[in-house]
A and B are shown apart, each in its own frame.
Chain A
Amino acid sequence: MITARDDILKRSKQRARAAGDHPPAWRSRRQFDDLSRRFVDSLAAVHGEACVVPSLEAAFARLGDLLAEIGAGRVVVNDEPPFSGVDMAARWPDIEWHVAGRSAGDLRAFCAAADVGLSSADAALAETGTLVVTSGPGRSRLVTLLVSVHIALVPVSRLTADLFTWTAGRSTPPPAMITLISGPSKTADIEQVMAIGVHGPKRFIVILYGDED
């Protein structure tokens, strides 16, 4: 008996039109004079928040201000640069910290009750104010998802123009999960009224920091 697989493949082949060449890849038409400026503006337009600071040290200072402003009591952080190796608990002793993949205790339960989740990102797309986050050792999916506020520290060298420049520079094979984040979680499912923070974070904050001289 023919398997479902072979049956489907056979039927999708038998009448198929003559195949021309697959079109060549679309190349980005975007030219931004100032990638970080476009990123900040685009993210603000979709209810996200972003700022640009000159150095990693300045980024940590800005982070400290934000944690104080939020009144963060529980913070979960991905074990990835620029956080790995930094003793967060020594710097912010009043906060209860959890480092993904490192701290004892249930990561998931911690994330679900955390005020803030900290991560970096593989890339930042200027056109749409989008961050590309991935899974991997020390890089949790839930850290950027279950928390109330997601704050990302991203070096400006990871900025790229748009989706097309990102896929053109993509490395294979991909990790188990890639997520492109463009603003906080939202819905307009009730009478088209926008409500922020449905399943994901209610605030999405990106700190872009200078890493090139």
Chain B
Amino acid sequence: MSSVSFKDFRTSAARAIADVRLQSAIDGATLTFRTGRVKALADLPDVDGLRDQLKAIRSATLARLADHLEMFEQQARAAGSHVYWARDAAEANRFVLDIAQQHGAKLAVKSKSMATEEIHLNAELQNAGITPVETDLGEWIIQLAGEPPSHIIGPALHKTREQVAELFSREVGRTLPPDDIPMLTAEARRLLREQFLAADIGISGANIGVAETGSVVLVTNEGNGRLVTSAPPVHIAIMGIEKIAPTWDDAAVWLALLARSSTGQPMSCYTTAITGPARDGDPDGPREVYIVLLDNGRADLVGSDYDEILQCIRCGACLNACPVYQEVGGHSYGVPYSGPVGAVLMPLLYGLAENEALPHASSLCGACLDVCPARIDLPRLLLKLRAEEVREHMLTPQERLLENAVAFVLRHPRLYRALTGLGRIFQRPLARGGLLRLPRRLNPAGERQLPALAKRSFRSMWNEIKDGQL
């Protein structure tokens, strides 16, 4: 599946940093999201209490995840939904394909879903002769471009209007000017509307599964989540098993924080809860509703050192806050999850050795923890992953020797003083204006700056102050 070595990460990060247009796109988008979030949360009474409540709900829910999942299944079935359990991507994809083929589906409309990105469903559908059409505007743009999403919330935020106009022009068969974004949106509405009305099945993810009623909750701004669950005769929802809210009261806490933390809206335009297929007398709605509960590594995290990451509600706030994400962009992390949450989740879902670079894609500044509505201690999780890497495989014998030597020196002050004294002499050829020029190998992007050792150490000055000599 996904893998990101140090070399991969460095290469794509360096490319992203050198891309001026990409940098301004990321800066603009993350700044908008960040200021929006601050404003939206400021309007809430007792927002800290509400975040504590979300944290408490999420951790209590995960401690009894199996019970809540059973309740969800039972209630969803009682409402007439079919419920499937998938251990991994292959099982989930097979269920979806089986259902699609059973209904003779040729065209599937999809509303934005990170879970289907995670299992690479689109490729599987295509192989089986079923055309998947992404209907979230951002998702559709990157589908046309053949790219993965670069942000959990704004999948196409790396694309300029010129690039979008070019992609859409290809679809409509005439040249669309890039300067009129409402017109581009209107073209997308027209084209996707045809697909919605012609589609055989609708596929969605799930923001929340409410256990007490077996409902699947979808949050969108454009209305794609509503159309996918209203127009086609069959609706399939793919939901990570951790997305359970035991009650509607709990779901309300998620919803109160989700849009505010993510785009800075008080509520997203549409929050839809689907509880089974259309009932007798309903004028419209799907005749069949299928829910695929996706494990894909999550169950094994419950109770592990890392299970806090399962509390994530996928708001994207940690991406927007992260200084590393802001520089390297979403694609450097590999797909589908980027930013701090991705740096933790990808190694856990797809293997630490395969994604060795990701736990290091952080300055551990703590900005992500500050903004996370579920107060997930992402820096702690990143550090834990790093420690595990070091323990398991990462240090070469030379590095191990070096680390041990450094530890030894730091434990022996006299040796430390002697060596820094020598350093002051030997750094001379490398020092320029108080900074050290690092060898290329330690400074691949050429941006790192390390201060040179000061002429005199603080300790020696302190001794003089103490003795009244200064």
Q: Which residues of A contact B (CB under 8 A)?
A: 3-5, 7-23, 25-26, 29-30, 42, 45-46, 79, 100-101, 107-108, 112, 127-130, 135-143, 145, 162-164, 166-168, 170, 172-193, 195-200
Contacts A17-B62, A140-B283, A185-B269 aside, 6 further interface pairs with beta carbons under 8 A come to A15-B302, A16-B64, A46-B269, A185-B221, A191-B160, A197-B185
| Chain B proximity of A202: nearest CB distance (Å) | 9
Indicate with 1 or 0, residue by residue over B242-282, a CB within 8 angstroms of chain A CB atoms: 00001111111101100000010111111111111111111
With a 10 A CB-CB cut-off, give which of A26, A108, A139, A173 has the most chain B CB atoms.
Answer: A26
Q: Given A189-B141, A199-B196, A182 and B185 touching (CB < 8 A)?
A: no
Whether B154 and A189, one on each chain, are in contact in the complex, defined by CB atoms closer than 8 angstroms, is: yes
Whether B197 and A167, one on each chain, are in contact in the complex, defined by CB atoms closer than 8 angstroms, is: no
B28 CB–A CB distance under 8 Å = yes
Give every chain B residue within 8 A of A19 (Cβ-Cβ). Answer: 60, 63-64
Nearest B residue to A180, CB-CB: B271
Q: Which residues of B contact A (CB under 8 A)?
A: 25, 28-29, 32, 45-46, 50, 53, 56-57, 59-66, 69-70, 73, 79, 85-87, 91, 135-138, 141, 154-157, 159-161, 164, 181-182, 184-186, 188-189, 192-193, 196-197, 212-213, 215, 221-224, 226-227, 229-231, 241, 246-253, 255-256, 263, 265-285, 293, 295, 298-300, 302-304, 307
Nearest A residue to B135, CB-CB: A199
Q: Given A185-B269, A186-B221, A163 and B252 touching (CB < 8 A)?
A: yes
- Between A and B, 28 residue pairs with Cβ closer than 8 Å are A9-B66, A11-B300, A12-B66, A16-B63, A17-B62, A17-B303, A22-B60, A23-B57, A29-B45, A108-B197, A108-B231, A128-B266, A136-B281, A137-B281, A141-B229, A162-B256, A174-B213, A177-B272, A179-B226, A179-B270, A180-B270, A185-B221, A189-B157, A190-B161, A191-B28, A193-B161, A197-B189, A199-B227
Q: What's the Cα separation between A10 and B70 when bound, in Å?
A: 12
Whether B248 and A167, one on each chain, are in contact in the complex, defined by CB atoms closer than 8 angstroms, is: yes
> B302: which of A16, A127, A200 is its contact (CB, 8 Å)?
A16
Whether B282 and A200, one on each chain, are in contact in the complex, defined by CB atoms closer than 8 angstroms, is: no
Whether A46 and B266, one on each chain, are in contact in the complex, defined by CB atoms closer than 8 angstroms, is: yes
Give every chain B residue within 8 A of A193 (Cβ-Cβ). Answer: 161, 181
Whether A190 and B303, one on each chain, are in contact in the complex, defined by CB atoms closer than 8 angstroms, is: no
Whether B272 and A178, one on each chain, are in contact in the complex, defined by CB atoms closer than 8 angstroms, is: yes
Whether A138 and B226, one on each chain, are in contact in the complex, defined by CB atoms closer than 8 angstroms, is: no
With a 10 A CB-CB cut-off, give which of A5, A29, A101, A107 has the most chain B CB atoms.
Answer: A5
Q: What's the Cα separation between A46 and B221 when bound, in Å?
A: 11
Give every chain B residue within 8 A of A46 (Cβ-Cβ). Answer: 265-266, 269
Question: How many contacts A-B (CB < 8 Å)?
Answer: 275
Whether B65 and A16, one on each chain, are in contact in the complex, defined by CB atoms closer than 8 angstroms, is: yes
Give every chain A residue within 8 A of B79 (Cβ-Cβ). Answer: 173, 176
Q: What's the Cα separation between A9 and B231 when bound, in Å?
A: 34
Give every chain A residue within 8 A of B227 (Cβ-Cβ). Answer: 145, 199-200
Nearest B residue to A42, CB-CB: B266
| Chain B proximity of A125: nearest CB distance (Å) | 8
> B222: which of A130, A136, A138, A186 is its contact (CB, 8 Å)?
A186
Q: What's the Cα separation between A29 and B49 when bound, in Å?
A: 11
Whether B284 and A108, one on each chain, are in contact in the complex, defined by CB atoms closer than 8 angstroms, is: yes
Nearest B residue to A163, CB-CB: B252
Q: Given A128-B267, A175-B275, A175-B279, A191 and B87 touching (CB < 8 A)?
A: no
Whether A182 and B69, one on each chain, are in contact in the complex, defined by CB atoms closer than 8 angstroms, is: no
Whether B222 and A7, one on each chain, are in contact in the complex, defined by CB atoms closer than 8 angstroms, is: no
Give every chain A residue within 8 A of B85 (Cβ-Cβ). Answer: 3-5, 8
Q: What's the Cα separation between A69 and B355 when bound, in Å?
A: 59
Q: What's the Cα separation between A11 and B29 when bound, in Å?
A: 39
Give every chain B residue within 8 A of A107 (Cβ-Cβ). Answer: 283-284
> B156: which of A3, A183, A189 is its contact (CB, 8 Å)?
A189
Whether B181 and A142, one on each chain, are in contact in the complex, defined by CB atoms closer than 8 angstroms, is: no
Whether A21 and B60, one on each chain, are in contact in the complex, defined by CB atoms closer than 8 angstroms, is: yes
Whether A174 and B275, one on each chain, are in contact in the complex, defined by CB atoms closer than 8 angstroms, is: yes
Whether B267 and A22, one on each chain, are in contact in the complex, defined by CB atoms closer than 8 angstroms, is: no
Nearest B residue to A164, CB-CB: B252
Give every chain A residue within 8 A of B268 (Cβ-Cβ). Answer: 182
A-B pairs with lowest CB-CB distance, top 9: A15-B303, A200-B223, A137-B281, A189-B138, A198-B222, A199-B223, A25-B249, A19-B63, A195-B185
With a 10 A CB-CB cut-off, give which of B45, B241, B299 has the most chain A CB atoms.
Answer: B299
Whether B273 and A174, one on each chain, are in contact in the complex, defined by CB atoms closer than 8 angstroms, is: yes
